[in-house]
Amino acid sequence: MAQQEIQLDRERFCCKICKDLMKDPVTMGCAHNYCMSCVKTHWDNEDDRGIYSCPQCRQTFTPRPVLGINTILAYLVEKRTKSGLQAAPADHCYAGPEDVACGFCIGRKLKALKSCLVCLASYCEKHLQPHFQSPLFKKHKLVEPSEKLQDTICSRHDEVKEIFCHTDQQCICYLCYVDDHKDHDTVSAVAERTGRQRELGQMRQTIQQRLQDREKDVKLHQQELEAIHGSADKVVEDSEKNITELICLLEKRSSDVKQKIRSQQEAEVRRFKELQERLEQEITELKRKDDELKELSDTEDHNQILHNYPSMSPLSESTHSSSIRNGPLRNFEDVTAAVSQVRDRLEDILSGTDTNSLLNMCQVNVLLLRSELPF
């Protein structure tokens, strides 16, 4: 447990560049902490760009910040150092299979902090100190640790490739230039790197601007998509409400029609019953009259016939039922025809021009929305 606490404490005060306890710790504007010398070396390599970044979060600073030692952090690091925290390098400071190893460590090698293009060697934090402290190494070029330092040496002349040939698009040494590239379009490798870096910076700015534009477009399109969903849901809700009201109206009209038909039915039934009673009365009267006439007609005494004939009452007017037979049925058929006409009109509305116009309008709106998309 104590060893684990020491390890965590060491990581807390460890520089993320050299992977060792911070020396002269400084705090950047992004709140990350490094050794003063490590930050200076890192920023020296960014002087050509004029933009200085944090190695950890990549936040940029312009112009180059002036850093002062964080006295509180320096005190804490010194206190940890005196407590024996720096007795031995942590395991993560040693070079692994994928790391660049220090070329001057004996035994188990530490990770290289920097590589020198002049020395063609890689150094850990300890063995790198002469490059910071001795004037002899002042003009040496330090870069991020690299296993490909030999690529900077001409295999033909064993000289550093310090010239770039535009004609052949390759790095060459001074002797190559004298022997084979004298008439070619050449510049220093440093100048070419500066130009390429400037182009890369411009390309990155273009990509970042386009990325921001695309992210903005995605956000706008997401808002449009949410608006489409909301609008469609609102239209569906309103349509269902209107259709429900239409159904209620049709049900009410249907109930009214049924009620009127039933009322007319009851009236016609009453009228027919009254007519039937009159007809039955007329039938009874006609039968009685027929019986009297038959009795008188069957009498053999002619004096009795002549005496009783004047007293016979005349026949009453007959009830005419021809119009009654056709009227009610024709009225009901008229109602059926009227309802059929209403149904046909509703079918024409629902399947005709109005509905098609609504669907076409929705389709046009979707097409207009698609035409506004930049992709």
pLDDT of 63 over the 50 cut: yes
- DSSP sequence for 84-116: TTTSS--GGGB--TTSPBPSS--SSPBBPSEEE
Question: With 0-12 CB in 10 A as exposed, 13-18 as middle and 19+ as buried, what is 187?
Answer: middle
Under a CB-based contact definition with an 8 Å cutoff, are residues 114 and 123 in contact? yes
Domain 1-91 has CATH 3.30.40.10: yes
Q: Which residue has the higher pLDDT, 373 or 252?
A: 252
What backbone torsions phi and psi does residue 161 show, to the nearest 5 degrees?
Answer: -80, 95
Question: With 0-12 CB in 10 A as exposed, 13-18 as middle and 19+ as buried, what is 125?
Answer: buried
pLDDT tens-digit readout, 163-206: 999 999 989 888 898 888 888 998 988 888 888 888 998 999 99
Tell me if residue 24 falls in helix, strand or coil: coil
Tell me if residue 121 falls in helix, strand or coil: strand
CB atoms within 10 A of CB 85: 17
Structure tokens at 108: 């188990």
- pLDDT, position 86: 47
CB atoms within 10 A of CB 38: 26
Query: Alpha-carbon distance 175 to 178, whole Å?
Result: 5
Residue 358 half-sphere exposure toward CB, CA atoms < 13 A: 10
pLDDT tens-digit readout, 253-303: 889 888 988 888 898 889 889 888 988 888 898 898 888 888 878 887 777
Torsional class of 268: left (φ above 0), alpha (ψ -120 to 50), beta (otherwise): alpha
Of 253, 247, 268, 285, nearest to 324 by C-alpha is: 268
Residue 168 half-sphere exposure toward CB, CA atoms < 13 A: 14
Query: Alpha-carbon distance 64 to 44, whole Å?
Result: 10
